[in-house]
Amino acid sequence: MAFAPALHSEWLKIRTLRSLPGALLALFAATTAFSALAAADGSSEPDFDPLFTALSGVLPGQIAAVSFGALAMSSEYHGGALRLTLASVPRRGRWFAAKVTAVAVPALLAGLVTAGTALAVARAGLGSAASGLTTAEQVRGVLGCGVYLMLMALFAAGLTALLRSGVATLSLLIPFILVVSFVIGDAAGTVADFMPDKAGQIALHQTYDGTLGPWSGLAVTALWTVGALAAGAWSVRRRDA
């Protein structure tokens, strides 16, 4: 099977599995709601960053993006589905590329829509406190947020292909994102800037200090993602379906 029909097949799987559109809807709802709540708290802190406040809902919302990537890939490991898939697309590398593309595109689009909506809702709540944000900073924040969410979804998809289990991936990534990354950040200083989540989140800030900037931070997250996808591709090629 050529790449285009394989991609179409993978897109149909994502569209018809209820949990996957549900994960993207949860991404939108959670991010927007938490950003609105953060904006309602006001700007009393001395190091207030209006862009990060407006997009801070991404921090809990990214769990839905990670779940989307993990569930999209793990569906192939239930009930022998991967054997049927590879019977239709014998070239495993082509199938894996189609699956990754089918995860990346909706994750990016959902991330961009979510970031744009969260920013608009939070700006309304912040009022004059957000007046210092320039158009370029807002565009960079929305684009960076969309790319970051896509990369985290792909990171989860790659790990799921390696571990062959969505549960194992979520059990590893969710505690890391919610707990371990913050602990490392407090204890390790600038080393934490190179963690996959911390590096990408620099794009959500109006001002930033440290080694990495918004785009270099996303590049670091992209390197982590490429590594996870390469490991997942190796697993798909070398291990039995």
Measured distance CA(165)–CA(232) in Å, rounded:
11
CB 82 within 8 A of CB 239: no
Q: Which pLDDT belongs to residue 38?
A: 87
Where in the sequence is the domain holding 16, given as residue range(s)? 3-238
Measured distance CA(214)–CA(212) in Å, rounded: 7
* Helices marked H in 41-91: 50-55, 58-74, 81-88
Averaged pLDDT in 10-residue chunks for the chain of 241 residues: 83 90 96 91 72 93 96 86 79 91 97 96 85 90 97 97 92 85 62 85 88 93 97 86 54
- Residue 31 has what pLDDT? 96
239 contacts: CB under 8 Å, gap ≥ 6: 164
- Give how many domains the chain has, as a whole number: 1
- Which of 198, 51, 210 shows the shortest CA–CA distance to 131? 51
